Amino acid sequence: MSQFDRYISKFFWTYFFAGMVIFLTIFLAVDALSTMVSYRDVGTEILLRYYIHYLPELITKMVPIACLLGTILSLTVLNKNNELVALFSNGMSLVRITSPLLMWVLGICMVNYLIGDRLVPTLTKQKNYIFYNDVKKTPGMFSVVKTNRIWYRSKNGIFNIKTLNVQGTRAQGLTLYFFDDTWELMQMMTAKEVDMSIGSKWILKDGSVTVFSSESSFPLTSNFDTKSLQMSEDAADLQNSGQTSDTLTQKELAKFIDKNKDAGLETVRYEVDYHSKISFSFAGLVMSLLGIPFSVGRARSGGMMLNVGICIGLVFGYWILYSSSLTLGNHGHLPPIAAAWLPNIFVTAFGFYLIKRQRL
C-alpha cells in the first residue's frame, strides 16, 4: 500500500469501528430496555446470554451502515482539509482515491457473508431457545428445524412434521403422539397431508389412528381418508416454525427448498431469502458507492454533521427500496433472484451516475 492508501485507510477504519460501536450501543440499549420492561422477571444472566448470542446477527446488519459511514466521513475529512483538491490537481482520479476504501469495504462484505452464513444461523437457534424457554417462558413455541424435520411440543402432545410451508398453513408427513398425565403413550396419529388454515382446527388427510390401551395386548389401528382434529390454542404457534431461513446456512436452505419443492409446497419466500442472504451481504459496498458523490463535491456549510445526516438518509432510502423489493418477491410479483438483486443493481447504477456527474 502507498502512503496515501495507509493515510485514507486509517480514517476509514476509525470511522467504521466508531460507527459500529455507536449504532450497536444504541440498538442494544433500546432493545434491552424494551425486553426488561416486557419481561420484568428475567434475570441479568439470562439477558446477557441472550444478547451474546444475538450480537453477531446485529453486527452483520450494522456492517453496511458502518461501511457507508466510514466511506463518507473519510472523504469528508479530505474534502474539508482541501486535500481532495490537491489530489485531483496532481492527476489522481476519483477511482484511484476511493479504491482503497472500496477494497476494504469489499473485503468486509465477504467476511460479513461468511459470518452470516456460518456463525449466525447456529447462534440464532440458541438465541431463540433462550428467548422462548428463559425469557418468554413458552417452550412450546420453540422448534428446532434440522434439515427437513420439525419437532413441536404442546401440553401432552408431541408432533413431528416432515415439511411445513412458510405460512404454517399446510404440512406433510405429520405424526402426533398423545400422552396421559403420567406420560404414557395413549394414541398415535399419522397423516400424509394436513390443512392448518383454520387456526386450531386441523384437517388431516390420508392417515391412521393407533390407540394404545392397557386393556389390550396389541394396539388398535384404523385408517381414515379425512379427519378433523381440534388442537389446543398454542398449537397455532406452530406457524412460527415455517420461518426457518434465519436458522439455516445457505447450503441447508438450498436443500430445504429442494425438499419442499419435491413435496409440492410453495417455496417462493424461501427462495427470496436464499438470494437475499447474498445480496444483503454486499449492501455495504452498494451504499458506499452511492455515498461517494455526496462527499467529494464542494465543501458544505453543514460539514461533518450534514454528511452524517446524508448517510442516515441513504440508509433509510436503501432499506425502503430493498424491503419493498423483497415484499414484491414474497408475493410473487418479482422473480426471487430479481427481488433480491434489483435494489443493489439500481443503487449501484445510480451511484455511478452521480459519480460521473461530478466530473472530477
- DSSP string for residues in 172-217: EEEEEEEE-TT--EEEEEEEEEEEEEETTEEEEEEEEEEE--TT-S
- Model pLDDT, residue 299: 46
181 and 59 both lie in a single domain? no
Residue 226 sits in the same domain as residue 271: no
Looking at residue 117, what DSSP letter applies?
I
Asked if residue 132 and residue 17 are part of one domain, the reply reads yes
> Which of 231, 256, 285 is the endpoint of a domain?
231
- Whether 257 is covered by a domain: the verdict is no
pTM: predicted TM-score of the whole model, two decimal places: 0.73
State whether 11 and 124 are in the same domain: yes
Is there a single domain that holds both residue 9 and residue 114?
A: yes
Q: What is the mean pLDDT of residues 111-137?
A: 89
Residue 254 included in any domain? no
pLDDT at 327 over 50: yes
Residues 278 and 194 in one domain: no
Q: Domain check: are 113 and 173 in the same one?
A: no
**Which region, left, alpha or beta, applies to residue 173 given φ > 0 means left and ψ of -120 to 50 means alpha?**
left
pLDDT band at 276 (very low <50, low <70, confident <90, very high): very high
- Its domain, for residue 118, covers 3-136+264-358
Q: Cα separations (Å) of 228 from 152, 189, 231, 242? A: 19, 12, 10, 22
CB atoms closer than 10 angstroms to residue 315:
18
Q: What pLDDT score was predicted for residue 116? A: 92
Segment 312-340 mean pLDDT: 91
Cell 477504519 sits at which residue? 13
**pLDDT band at residue 21 using 50, 70 and 90 as cut-offs:** very high
Residue where a domain terminates, one of 175, 209, 231: 231
Q: What's the average model confidence in pLDDT over 278-293? A: 91
Could you tell me if 128 and 165 lie in one domain? no
In a domain, 316, yes or no: yes
Measured CA to CA, the distance from residue 303 to residue 308 in angstroms comes to 9
Does 253 reside within a domain? no
In a domain? residue 258: no
Q: Is the pLDDT of residue 226 over 80?
A: yes
Of 231, 249, 282, the residue that ends a domain is 231
Model confidence pLDDT, tens digit, residues 261-274: 776 667 888 899 99
The least confident of 33-37, 239-243, 338-342 is: 239-243
pLDDT at 31: 92
Same domain, 100 and 129: yes
Say whether pLDDT at 44 is over 80. yes
Residues 13 and 99 in one domain: yes
Q: Would you say residue 148 lies in a domain?
A: no
148-150-153 Cα angle (round to 5): 175
Residue 69 lies in a domain: yes
Q: Are residues 169 and 117 in the same domain?
A: no
The pLDDT assigned to 301 comes to: 47
Total domain count for the chain? 2
Residues 106 and 15 in one domain: yes
pLDDT at 181: 77
120 in a domain, yes or no?
A: yes
| Model pLDDT for residues 161-195, shown as the tens digit of each residue | 877 765 667 788 888 888 887 778 888 999 998 88
